[in-house]
Chains A and B, each alone.
Chain A
Amino acid sequence: MYIQLAITGISMGMIYALMAMGLILIVKAVGVLNFAHGQLFMLGGYLTWMLTYQLKLPLWGVALCGLIVFAICGAAYMFSVYWPLRNSSWKVTVTISTLGASIALKEVVRLIWGSIPLSMDPIVDGIVRIGTAYLNYQYILIIVIGGLLMLGVYILFEKTFIGKIMQATAQDRYAASLIGIPVIVSIAATYMVSMCLSGVGGWLAAPLFLVSQSLGSMAQKAFAGIVLGGFGSVKGAIVGCLLIGLIESFSVIITDSYRDAIVFLVLIAVLVIRPTGIFGEKISDKA
């Protein structure tokens, strides 16, 4: 029982963490809250559904085409929602524009695929038995793929040249442009990585939750994870999201319908006790 709860909790946490990483990358790179992130996640679910059931691609084709499509979507999203507003004197305008984008994306998806939830087969079918716990392979797969992606992002940002470029842009855009970094490419790359992370998250979550417009609301847990974990750091966001996942799955023991309430109560309690989150770095917002 506890093993089962722990594993489902961690795998849910992984999904939140994939979203949270994308969010944090954008916040660090351009200092903008992306409120359409849940909708990008949902779009990931729908796009992979389209690739598997409408275009009938094999699994490796879905993975490959999926990543390419996600990257294109990320770039398109950046050029439509962020780029025209980059020089605006007030950051709130970009935030509001992402709110508009979230409404628009939800509607686009509804107009194309309808409002009935679509079912999707798990990537690996079957049930595994660990001790006394019975689990879908999908949960294990989520943890594995999620872990691999995190490792990939770590290597990308810490060990490669393009990652260094993105970090430099995030630290100081003006200085980066002075030393010859193409800022536009770098920011677009950040958005692409971010969209790929949440798109894969949507793909992994789709078999468990059905593909529907309500997938987008899962982003709120990712927001909670970011606040819980501590600010500005990808590491903190991942740990926070895993914690949120665990709290969520273990709260089943106490209550069923108040799961969300417990998650957010814990969040607010943590804020009162330790306002800087678990990893207490004090990093203020980008100006």
Chain B
Amino acid sequence: MRKKLSISQIVKYTLTFLLCLAIFLILPQKSVTNKYMMKVVNEGIIYFIAVLGLSVILGMGGQVTFSTAPIMGMGAYITAILTTKYGYDVLAALLIALLASTIFSYFMGLALFRLKGSYFAFASIGLAQLFYTIFSNWMDMTGGPDGISKIPNLHLGFFKCENYYDYFKVLFIIGIICYMVVARIRKSYFGRALASVRDDEIAAKCMGINTYRTKVLSFVVAGFFASLAGCLYATMERYISPEVFKFDQSAIYLIMVMLGGVDSTFGALLGTMLLTILPERLRFLQSYFKLVYGVGVIILMNVMPMGLMGIYNDLKRKLHFAIVRRKNSKEKNKGGVQHANE
């Protein structure tokens, strides 16, 4: 069944589209953003893609996982090794890496989701640690702590990325597509099933949902987005090292999701961009930055457990109620006056 769009919705979509178009055209210009800032924004978009996957598994499914960084690393390393050591074409390497890491995350999901809740999180830490050890010790393939450099630039056949400005255009479009996919998942059967698993697993089972398969599927989706982000990261930075795919980085992704608001796709974007760009603006704190950051996270969880979007939704609801109450009281007043006249 297809609902007709109301006028306000049409206006909303058009405005969003125009805004995206404006960002797409204005931002990647040397006079607007300098090269360094462009790189930061690009990294932000890449992290956002990884965080989107995490928002499916954490926000919808309620499962805390530290597998984002290792799967991302897997994608990045496969891309890097295939292009630099075996001379594959970038696009082919990227697709192979995506496929391989998605299949891998399917099998990992099968294994890890035999555990529940907290113990699943413990086990996913094991995954992060395992990958970090492999990345930093397999000298022949991964180059050990030195990493891999000279990864070729991304190209899409007709469009070749040569600088950060070109990358922005590609990443921006990929980012929007991923955003729409996740927003769509949220409204699909799978998204609702996942949310029911998060809220009450036993109830979900009673409704006839295969909770195990749903959770594994969410792990695969998260793995897909993470490896996509990893592949893009490798080709944009042209250099990767194990440090970027550490356990700590996974923790940062978790914080990004929570900052924006677990329950919304837009929140993921907000959280990622804030946490990527804010450190650049807070350079003056220098050595105190990380302390402020850590304490900030604790305070954030205290003040707004549902993140920025949670606060926004709360405000909206309160405003709505205030307006309704006002209207009601006005009507009541009117009624009162009429009554008195009679």
Q: Chain A: residues with CB nearer than 8 A to chain B?
A: 27, 31, 33, 35, 80-81, 84-85, 88-90, 92-97, 99-108, 111, 217, 220, 223-224, 226-227, 231, 257-261, 264-265, 267-268, 271-272, 275, 284-285
Contact between chains at B294 and A220 (CB < 8 Å): no
- Does B311 sit within 8 A of A, measured CB to CB? no
Binding site for A on B (CB under 8 A): 58, 62, 64, 111-112, 114-119, 121-123, 125-127, 129-130, 132-134, 137, 247, 251, 254-255, 258, 262, 287-288, 290-291, 293-298, 300-302, 305-306
> Which A residue sits closest to B117, measured CB to CB?
A285
- Closest B-chain residue to A94, C-beta based? B301
Q: How far is the CB of B247 from chain A (nearest CB, A)?
A: 7
The answer on a CB contact under 8 Å between B119 and A103 is: no
Which residues of chain A have C-beta atoms less than 8 A from B306's C-beta?
90
Taking CB atoms, residues of chain A closer than 8 Å to B112 are 271
Complex alpha-carbon distance, A226 and B115, angstroms: 12
Nearest first, the 10 closest Cβ-Cβ pairs linking A and B are: A100-B297, A104-B294, A275-B114, A285-B117, A103-B294, A264-B130, A107-B291, A97-B301, A261-B133, A93-B305
Instruction: Specify which of A100, A261, A271 is in contact with B115 (CB 8 Å cutoff).
Output: A271
For A107, what are the chain B residues with a Cβ–Cβ distance below 8 Å? 288, 290-291, 294
A217 to B290, CA, bound (A): 18
A261 near B130: Cβ-Cβ < 8 Å: yes
A88-B305 contact, Cβ under 8 Å, with A96-B255, A265-B130, A267-B123: yes
Tell whether, in the assembled complex, residue B129 and residue A99 are in contact, meaning their CB atoms are under 8 Å apart: no
Q: A84 to chain B: which residues have CB within 8 Å?
A: 302
Classify the interface of chain A: helix, strand, loop or mixed: helix
The answer for the CA separation of A228 and B300 in the assembled complex, in Å, is 34
Contacts of A102 in B (CB 8 A): 251, 294
**Do residues B137 and A257 form an inter-chain contact, with CB atoms below 8 A?**
yes
Q: Which residues from A are CB-within-8-Å of B132?
A: 260
Q: Report the separation of the CA atoms of residues A95 and B64 in the bound assembly, to the nearest whole angstrom.
A: 9
The interface centre, meaning the residue of B58, B64, B298 with most chain A CB atoms within 10 A of its CB, is B298
**29 cross-chain CB contacts under 8 A:** A33-B64, A88-B301, A90-B262, A95-B64, A97-B298, A100-B293, A100-B297, A100-B298, A100-B301, A102-B294, A103-B290, A103-B297, A104-B294, A104-B297, A107-B290, A111-B287, A111-B288, A220-B126, A220-B247, A224-B125, A226-B122, A227-B115, A257-B137, A258-B137, A260-B133, A271-B111, A271-B112, A271-B114, A284-B117
Partner of A264, one of B117, B129, B295, B298: B129
Is the CB–CB distance between A96 and B301 below 8 Å?
yes
Within the complex, the shortest CB–CB distance from B97 to chain A, in Å, comes to 21
Q: What B residues does A35 contact at CB under 8 A?
A: 251
Distance, CA A223 to CA B132, complexed state (A): 16
Q: How far is the CA of A107 from the CA of B289 in the complex (A)?
A: 9
Q: Are B111 and A80 in contact (CB under 8 A)?
A: no
Residue pair B126, A268 in contact (C-beta under 8 Å): yes
Q: Is the CB of A97 within 8 A of B111?
A: no
- A92 proximity list for chain B (CB < 8 A): 58, 62, 64, 258, 262
